[in-house]
A and B are shown apart, each in its own frame.
Chain A
């Protein structure tokens, strides 16, 4: 069966904004989403490991990772809405079929996320009420929560790799359907890009978590002693190193082992070669900055520079992923060729509200400077 026959017609309504506008917000949203998402993806697992095997300072670090996690998750979910929204606007022809083919795992994300989120609250509540070492059952909840987030990540990797793996749709569909209606039980596990993509995101998440530890130690841990900060820098370096090595290995596997010819041709030639190179080498910069701080001591400015470097790394990653996604889809459809009927007044109103909203958030955060220190 020709997989292109499974791609539906264009929406008669067209895009409500130019493609570049949609994809800009998609990439921006994904970059912002990755920051908190990386923290829960590997931060919780790291916190559980440190709590289990670490010494006193490591356990302190574990608690510092877990305490802000409820807010981190709320922000991550929130930021995730933007790329999801614009994916559905611009990539609807492939997004809906892919998620329908794997509907049960896809929908189960909601249940898994609810359980994981409450799991985090249960663990953090234990840190408040039971002190340094939460009860055993709460620790068990923490481990289950870490596992749930890994599973959620796996389902996400499946959905977004299946979205571009149109070639696999006919087999998956015919294998798992009733009279042409999918059962929604498929997974994209036969796709060679799935596993390196999932693992690569895990490795990149480790590097973000390492940066968070660095920033937290210099900016937010003023009450902790020098010994704690030294431990935090050492752990950050170890985690960052693991992340960078993992990223190099899984990235090489992904690029050299799984990229089809057309993607390699697009990403390894001309100006794209520079982008691919920067994306591949990018995580090295925050790693060097973390190494520097571990050897020479940290300051707020160094930590801020590390955070900025990591945001750039994530942005490069998001841009490269977007280009690869379009190249993978090119043989099946051209997402840039859809008709456009710009909704000017709602678009302008949104941009005005967006700017005003940023102003209000800045005002809200500005109020925190006047806040008194927590007692006790």
Chain B
């Protein structure tokens, strides 16, 4: 409401956040778990004086840098880029609450970068003890990054005591913090092993070496699986009631939860039967399939984690449509168009006749010609609804969802969306504005599909 709404046809702009976030998270977990893998295994290889394994680890470290330092770092910055333009009020709020959380994470990020480059570029030039220490320095810094960022992302799902206390720690140490740290740490272990299998299946030519890698990486992966289960249970138990309800009520989430369970169970079994019990199974095909399952599980898990938060971006603080939850009653009185900085400027510029004494007068909106009312309905739709719904076509398009609805049905849902679906935000405008939005929605709604028969009344 304080900022312009970026219109992205078909997809909606928040979907760009989802795309970049998922692309990032697939690598971010590896950046943590892979760092631990390199530290532990390099230490082991030095102790055993295993030259072939050390050579492999150096090759893996190069792969690790190319994936995490380049792609991981840029997509991490990319999340900043997209949340700022697609969800500005929530970003502004988060950054004012947690700027020092991010600043602390930044310190660890610097340590990650410096230690990662020293670990790789000075391979063979540092004495083993120092080399391993640098590896542990990386692993520790990467895990601290995970802890710090998880405190912030977990806050978005459960703001805990923050709405009452409004302090950094009340927000950071929220109920979701520990479960999500556990789950993400487990995810980091597991995903790192899948990356290792994928890399080793193609790069480690010696079968004995490949078996060693498979067997040794199975243990952290199994530990990771255990942490994911523990974290997942904690995550579910500390979910807000509406998030638990969304998991059951939303059909897309039902399917995704089933998919997540199925893929996760498949990964556990493959891990146990494959690398743990039969390291020789690690072929390129097996590793690819394993890796794909891991990516599907992580992607699905992230999607569910994001989706159950609806209708909030920050639970109980900022709604998906970029308004403070506490401002809804005021906006219902004064008007959504009046309350928004850019909506008010747009209306004042195009329809000065509806402005009275510097404020938009809601009854005057309905005195405008019909086409202008529809146009204002479009403004309301874009600013109030487009964060989740495309218009005529596209992601969750209302033009498709409302097919066959009568004007009264549309009007009722516009006035009380949170009663139609509890995961929708409440209407935050006047009754006159609801009428404008209704007119626009009826204009873009596709007709009821023909050819459907339900028997004939006699």
Name A's B-contacting residues (CB within 8 A). Answer: 1, 5-9, 11, 13-17, 25, 70-71, 74-75, 77-78, 80-82, 84-86, 88-89, 92, 95-97, 99-101, 103, 106-107, 109-110, 113-114, 117-118, 121, 170, 173-174, 177-184, 343, 345-347, 349-350, 353-354, 356-357, 360-361, 364-365, 367-368, 370-375
Contact = CB atoms under 8 A, between A and B. Distances in A.
A117 B69 CA distance: 10
A88 B118 contact: no
A124 to B, nearest CB: 11
Contacts of A349: 100, 104
A6 B382 contact: no
Contact of A1 (B82, B118, B349, B381): B349
A89 B103 CA distance: 12
A240 to B, nearest CB: 28
A277 B206 CA distance: 66
Given A88-B84, A96-B91, A121-B70, A9 B117 contact: no
23 contacts: A9-B2, A15-B96, A17-B99, A75-B113, A92-B88, A96-B88, A97-B3, A100-B88, A103-B85, A106-B81, A106-B85, A114-B71, A174-B349, A177-B4, A180-B4, A181-B386, A182-B5, A343-B167, A350-B103, A350-B107, A367-B126, A368-B118, A371-B125
Interface in B72-115: 73-75, 77-78, 80-82, 84-86, 88, 91-93, 95-97, 99-104, 106-111, 113-115
Contacts of B107: 350, 353-354, 356-357
Nearest to B16: A107
A347 B100 contact: yes
B127 interface: yes
Contacts of B345: 1, 5-6, 170
Nearest to B65: A70
Interface string B47-84: 00000000000000000001001110111011011101
Query: For chain A, what secondary structure do more than half of its interface residues adopt (helix, strand, loop), or is it mixed?
Result: helix
Contacts of B395: none
Interface residues of B, number: 78
Nearest to A12: B324
B102 A11 contact: no
Nearest to B148: A353
B382 A181 contact: yes
Query: For chain B, what secondary structure do more than half of its interface residues adopt (helix, strand, loop), or is it mixed?
Result: helix
- A-B complex: 8 closest residue pairs judged by Cβ atoms: A8-B2, A346-B100, A181-B7, A180-B346, A110-B78, A179-B378, A357-B107, A96-B88
B84 A5 contact: no
A94 B99 CA distance: 18
Contact of B4 (A113, A173, A346, A356): A173
Contacts of A13: 93, 96-97, 166
B6 A100 contact: yes
Contacts of B106: 81-82, 85
A77 B102 CA distance: 15
B92 A92 contact: yes
B69 to A, nearest CB: 5
B375 interface: yes
Contacts of A101: 4
A77 B77 CA distance: 8
B114 A364 contact: yes
Nearest to B347: A180
Given A5-B341, A84-B80, A89 B4 contact: no
Q: Among B70, B97, B101, which residue has the most Cβ atoms of chain A within 10 A?
A: B70
B20 interface: yes
Nearest to B337: A180
B344 interface: yes
Contacts of B2: 8-9
Contact of A7 (B88, B167, B341): B341
Given A82-B106, A179-B379, A361 B95 contact: no
B8 A184 contact: yes
Interface string B315-359: 000000000000000000000000001111110110000000000
Given A11-B93, A371-B125, A346 B7 contact: no
A364 B140 CA distance: 14
A8 B110 CA distance: 34
A183 B7 CA distance: 5
B95 A89 contact: yes
Given A13-B96, A99-B85, A346-B169, 7 more contacts: A8-B2, A9-B2, A100-B3, A107-B82, A121-B70, A179-B381, A181-B382
A354 B92 CA distance: 23
A103 B263 CA distance: 36
B3 to A, nearest CB: 5
B93 A178 contact: no
Contact of A96 (B84, B101, B114, B134): B84
B81 A74 contact: no
B375 A8 contact: no
Q: Among A106, A367, A370, which residue has the most Cβ atoms of chain B within 10 A?
A: A367
Contacts of A343: 100, 167-168
B349 A367 contact: no
A368 B125 CA distance: 9
A345 B104 CA distance: 12
Contacts of A113: 74, 77
B115 to A, nearest CB: 6
Contacts of A71: 117, 121
B130 interface: yes
Contacts of A86: 99
A29 to B, nearest CB: 9
Q: Among B20, B73, B126, B342, which residue has the most Cβ atoms of chain A within 10 A?
A: B342
B137 interface: yes
A212 B1 CA distance: 47
Nearest to A348: B100
Nearest to A13: B96
B423 interface: no
Interface string B387-427: 00000000000000000000000000000000000000000
B155 interface: no
Contacts of B121: 71
B115 A110 contact: no
